[in-house]
Chains A and B, each alone.
Chain A
Amino acid sequence: MANEYRKELINDRSKKAKQIVSHPLFGFVILTIILAGVQLLFMFTEDIISLTVSKAIAQTLIYAIVGMGFAILLGYAGLASLGTAGFIGLGSYIAGNMLKLIPFPVPYILIIGAVIIAGIVLGGVVGFISLRIEGMYLAIITLGLSEILLELFKTPNQFTGGASGLKSVPWAKLAMFYEMDREKMFFLILGVLFITIVFTINIINSPTGRAMLAMKNSQSAAQAMGISILKYRLLAFVLATIYAMIGGALYVTYLRASNTSSWTLALSLNVLAAVIIGGYRSVWGVLMGTFVIFGLDLAVLKNIDFFNKYPGSSAIFSGVLIVLIVMFYPGGLIRLFADIKTLIKSGIEKWKVYRYGKDYK
Chain B
Amino acid sequence: MAKIINSVIVRRLIRKRNRASSDYELNHTYLAVAKEILAEQSRMDTDIKRGKIEKSLNALQQKAMSPKEKAQQSMEEKIEKLNKNQRLPRLAVEQTYLRKIEKQGKDAAQEYKSAALKKLDDKLSAIKDKFEGIIKLSPSEKDEASEKAYTLAKAEYDRKLSEFEKHNKEKSEAKYARIEKKVSAQNSRLKAKIDACSQKLNGRKAAAQKQLKDTETILQLEELEMRFGGVKAVDKLSFEVKEGEIFGLIGPNGAGKTTVFNCITQFNKPTGGNIYYRNKNNEVMDLTHQKVHNIIKTGIVRTFQNLELIWELSVLDNMLIGSHVLYSAGFFDHLFHTRKLKREEKIMKARALDVLDRLGLIAYKDVIPFGLPYGILKKIELARTLMVNPRLIILDEPAAGLNEAETEELARTIHKIRNDYECTIFLVEHDMGLVMDICDTVCAISFGKMLAIGTPEEIQTNAVVQEAYLGSAVTEDEDE
Q: How far is the CB of B352 from chain A (nearest CB, A)?
A: 10
Task: Please tell me if A155 contacts chain B, counting CB pairs below 8 Å.
Answer: no
Which listed residue (B51, B304, B321, B356) contacts A214, Cβ 8 A? B321
Interface membership of B322, Cβ < 8 A: yes
A356 and B88 in contact, given A6-B350, A218-B310 (Cβ under 8 angstroms):
yes
B48, B324, B331, B353: the one within 8 Å of A13 (CB): B48
Known A-B contacts A10-B40, A221-B309, A223-B292; the reply to A5 vs B324 at CB < 8 A is no
CB pair B91 A210 closer than 8 Å: no
Q: With a CB–CB cut-off of 8 A, which chain A residues contact B331?
A: 208, 235
B320 interface neighbour in A6, A13, A207, A229, Cβ under 8 Å: A207
Cα-based distance from A235 to B296 in the complex (angstroms)? 21
Asked if B296 and A356 sit within 8 Å, CB to CB, the answer is no
Nearest CB of B to A214, in Å = 5
Instruction: Indicate if B41 sits at the interface (CB-CB under 8 A).
Output: yes
* Tally of contact residues, B, Cβ under 8 A: 58
A217 contacts the other chain (CB 8 A): yes
Task: Determine if B131 is an interface residue (Cβ-Cβ < 8 Å).
Answer: no
Which chain B residues lie closer than 8 Å to A281 at the CB level?
312
B294 touches A356 (CB 8 A): no
Complex interface: chain A residues within 8 A of B301 (CB): 224-225
B83 at the interface (CB under 8 A from A): no
Q: Does B324 contact A226, Cβ atoms closer than 8 Å?
A: yes
Other-chain residue from B39, B324, B336 in contact with A210 (beta carbon distance below 8 A):
B324
A1–B42 Cα distance when bound, in Å, is 11
Q: Which residues of chain B are within 8 angstroms of A222 by Cβ–Cβ distance?
A: 293, 321
The answer to whether residues A14 and B324 also contact, given A6-B36, A223-B267, A224-B301 and a CB cut-off of 8 A, is no
In the complex the two chains form, is B310's CB within 8 Å of A229's CB? no
Is A228 located at the chain interface by the 8 A CB criterion?
yes
* Interface window among A120-128, A144-152, A198-206, A269-277: A198-206
Q: Are A14 and B48 in contact (CB under 8 A)?
A: yes
A227 touches B335 (CB 8 A): no
Q: Mark B341-373, 1 if CB is under 8 A from A, else 0.
A: 100001001100100110000100100000000
Q: Which residues of B contact A354 (CB under 8 A)?
A: 95
A47 at the interface (CB under 8 A from B): no
Interface residues of A in 266-303 (CB under 8 A from B): 281
Rounded to whole angstroms, the CA-CA distance of A227 and B163 in the bound complex is 51
* Inter-chain pairs besides A6-B40, A9-B350, 20 sampled, C-beta below 8 Å: A5-B356, A5-B365, A8-B349, A13-B44, A202-B337, A206-B335, A206-B337, A207-B324, A207-B329, A210-B324, A214-B310, A214-B313, A217-B309, A217-B313, A218-B308, A224-B302, A225-B325, A225-B384, A227-B321, A356-B95
Is there an interface contact between B327 and A207, defined as CB atoms closer than 8 Å?
A: yes
A12–B321 touching, CB < 8 Å: no
Within 8 Å by CB of B36, from A1, A226, A228, lies A1
Nearest B residue to A1, CB-CB: B40
Judge whether A360 is part of the interface by a CB distance below 8 angstroms. Answer: yes
List 10 A-B pairs, minimum CB-CB distance, nearest first. Answer: A221-B308, A206-B334, A226-B325, A226-B296, A356-B91, A1-B40, A218-B308, A217-B310, A228-B293, A208-B334
A308 at interface, CB cutoff 8 A: no
Write the nearest CB–CB distance from B42 to chain A, whole angstroms.
Answer: 10
Cβ contacts under 8 Å, B310 to chain A: 210, 213-214, 217-218, 221
| 18 contacting pairs across A/B (C-beta < 8 A) | A6-B353, A10-B44, A14-B47, A206-B333, A206-B341, A207-B320, A207-B329, A208-B334, A211-B321, A214-B310, A224-B295, A224-B304, A225-B322, A226-B297, A227-B293, A357-B94, A357-B95, A360-B88
A211 to B318, alpha carbons, bound, how many Å? Answer: 10
Whether A229 pairs with B41 at a CB distance below 8 angstroms is: no
Per the bound structure, the CA–CA distance linking A206 and B39 in Å amounts to 27
- Which residues of chain A from 68 to 111 have any CB-CB distance to chain B below 8 Å in the complex? none
Residues of chain B with a CB closer than 8 A to A207's CB: 320, 324, 327, 329, 334, 341
Give the residues in chain A near B293, CB-CB below 8 Å: 222-223, 226-229
B259: chain A residues at CB < 8 Å are: none
Q: Are A220 and B267 in contact (CB under 8 A)?
A: yes
| A5, B357: Cβ atoms closer than 8 Å | yes
B311 close to chain A: CB less than 8 A:
yes
Inside 8 A of B317's CB, which chain A residues have their CB?
Answer: 210
Question: Interface of chain A, helix or strand or loop or mixed?
Answer: helix
Please tell me if B424 contacts chain A, counting CB pairs below 8 Å: no
A22 at the interface (CB under 8 A from B): no
- Are B39 and A224 touching (Cβ within 8 A)? no
State the Cβ distance, A305 to closest chain B Cβ, in Å: 45
Q: Is the beta-carbon distance between A224 and B350 smaller than 8 angstroms?
A: no
Residue from the list B267, B311, B320, B362 in contact with A5, Cβ < 8 A: B362
Query: Which of A214, A229, A355 has the most CB atoms of chain B within a 10 A radius of its CB?
Result: A214
Taking the closest CB of chain B, its distance from the CB of A22, in whole angstroms, is 15
**A224–B296 contact, CB under 8 A?**
yes
In the complex, chain B residues whose CB is within 8 Å of the CB of A45: none
> Given the complex of chains A and B, what is the CA–CA distance between A12 and B43 in angstroms?
11
A158 at the interface (CB under 8 A from B): no
The answer to whether B92 has its CB under 8 Å from any CB of chain A is yes
Chain A residues near B291 (CB-CB < 8 A): 228
Q: How far is the CA of A199 from the CA of B325 in the complex (A)?
A: 22
* Inter-chain contacts of B320 with A (CB < 8 A): 207, 210
CA distance A354 to B91 in the complex (A): 10
Q: For the complex, is B37 an interface residue (Cβ under 8 Å from A)? A: yes
Checking B37, B324, B327 against A9 with a beta-carbon cut-off of 8 angstroms, the contacting residue is B37
Contact A203 B335 (CB under 8 A): yes
CA–CA, A210 to B314, complex, Å?
Answer: 11
In the bound complex, CA of A225 to CA of B292 (Å): 9
A130 to B169, CA, bound (A): 55
Contact string, A39-81, partner B, CB cutoff 8 A, digits 1/0? 0000000000000000000000000000000000000000000
User: What does the 1/0 interface line of A133-151 toward B look like (CB < 8 Å)?
Assistant: 0000000000000000000
Residues of chain A within 8 A (CB-CB) of B334 are 202-203, 206-208
Q: Output the least CB separation between A66 and chain B (Å).
A: 18
